[in-house]
Structure 1
Amino acid sequence: RPYFVEQLNERVPFYDVRHSIKPGITGWAQVRYGYGDSVDDALQKLQYDLYYVKNNSLLLDVLVLIDTFKVVMFRGGR
């Protein structure tokens, strides 16, 4: 949501870098961290997003798909 993005951009350094890649249905942060509802959670998820941006590759996308399948089928995450 734009409101939350604006708030997090003000409070979390480099938060806007995560928007340099097109959003998708799933992502590295979603399968590695799960749901978060605080600024601290946003900081943690940002670390995963920045890792994805820096290491973007077909192999990483395949790993995201595999982990997404595991989360959906076994209702779990990390």
Structure 2
Amino acid sequence: MPRMLHLFDARSVEYLKRTRGHMLEPYPDDVISQKWAEAEEKFSSLSKSAELNDGTKDAGPFITGHTVSFIDFALGA
């Protein structure tokens, strides 16, 4: 949200700071490191799941091979 404050008029910025000021403060470095570690862990397991079709006759550009599936759209969104 802090990067978007320039999009609002002065009155809206004042309101956001007054009512949601705690959300505008940046996270401490240790919290940021922890959040990145959690995200990397989750995406590494997703990456392993996506590699299931590697080396098979059905390997293709999509998760299920040559056939597009819902998960392709969900990940692309």
Please, what TM-score do these two structures have when normalized by structure 2?
0.27
Please identify the structure whose Cα radius of gyration is greater.
2
Please, what TM-score do these two structures have when normalized by structure 1?
0.27
